[in-house]
Amino acid sequence: MHIADFSVGMLGANGVVGGGIGIAVGAAQASMLLGRDHVSVCFFGDGAVNRGPFLEGLNWARIYNLPVLFVCEDNGFAAFTRPSETTGGAGAAARAEAIGVPATTIDGNDAIAVHDAAVALVAQCRRGQGPVFLVAPTYRLDGHTIADRTPYRAAEEVAAHRERDPIVRLTRELVEAGTSLATLQRLEDDARAEMEEALAFAGSSPWPNAHAALSDVQDYGAPV
């Protein structure tokens, strides 16, 4: 969960719901102050629209006309709860537009549509037109955690949504466009092998030294 790779501009994921919004907005403001044409992209779920960082982050980005693409991956559940039970009004897009951030809603299970929309919106940000908001409705096929057996939804509901699996859909579209099944199978095999290699590396690695837990923590000194 707590991953980052500054070498590719990935400033970090974190366990705080909506926590990445503030990071993205700060990065966008830094880019503007430094005169760079970078665009910050921030992903969060539908549950984050009820958190303070959503309102504060989008508002700040709008006031300062920052180059940020906010992406709401609306998967139908905030952990174990449906948004209809916790979120009033017309949803995430309406809240963004109320702050003055234009919103686009697309089929989040259509990989090509997501790509095309993102390309257009990033270009809009880069032209200095300020923050934009992309809502991508999808569906969470598995539980929130490995221990979540999803007793709050019917098996038939999940099965119906599996028919719209974005990987299956994209595979079908690529085949129709002329890509061979052998090529797609090789890509899948390579991806699985990469994951198995990473899992084996993690399993065979020694536990880190306990002092490493404090190596990246700012020291404010001993408590008074």
pLDDT digits (tens, 9 = 90+) for 66-92: 999 999 999 988 888 888 888 888 889
Among 101, 126, 105, which residue's Cα sits nearest to residue 40?
A: 126
Q: Are 93 and 65 in the same domain?
A: yes
Band of pLDDT at residue 145, cut at 50, 70 and 90: confident
Q: Are 33 and 132 in the same domain?
A: yes
Q: What is the mean pLDDT of the chain?
A: 91
Q: Residue 69: which domain range?
A: 6-148
Distance of CA 174 to the CA centre of its chain: 24
Band of pLDDT at residue 219, cut at 50, 70 and 90: low
Count CA atoms closer than 13 A to 25's CA, side-chain side: 21
What residues pair up with 105 in beta bridges, in sequence order? 135
Q: What is the pLDDT of residue 223?
A: 61
In 74-138, the DSSP E strands lie at 103-105, 132-135
Structural domain includes residue 73: yes
pLDDT digits (tens, 9 = 90+) for 151-208: 999 999 899 898 889 999 999 999 999 999 999 999 999 999 999 999 999 999 999 8
Structural domain includes residue 154: no
Indicate the burial class of 21 (C-beta count within 10 angstroms; 0-12, 13-18, 19 or more).
buried
Average the pLDDT over 131-135 and give the result: 98
Among 148, 183, 213, which residue terminates a domain?
148
Number of independent structural domains in the chain: 2
Say which residue the tokens 């969960």 belong to.
1
The structure's pTM equals: 0.86
CATH number of the domain where residue 133 is located: 3.40.50.970
Q: Are 71 and 180 in the same domain?
A: no
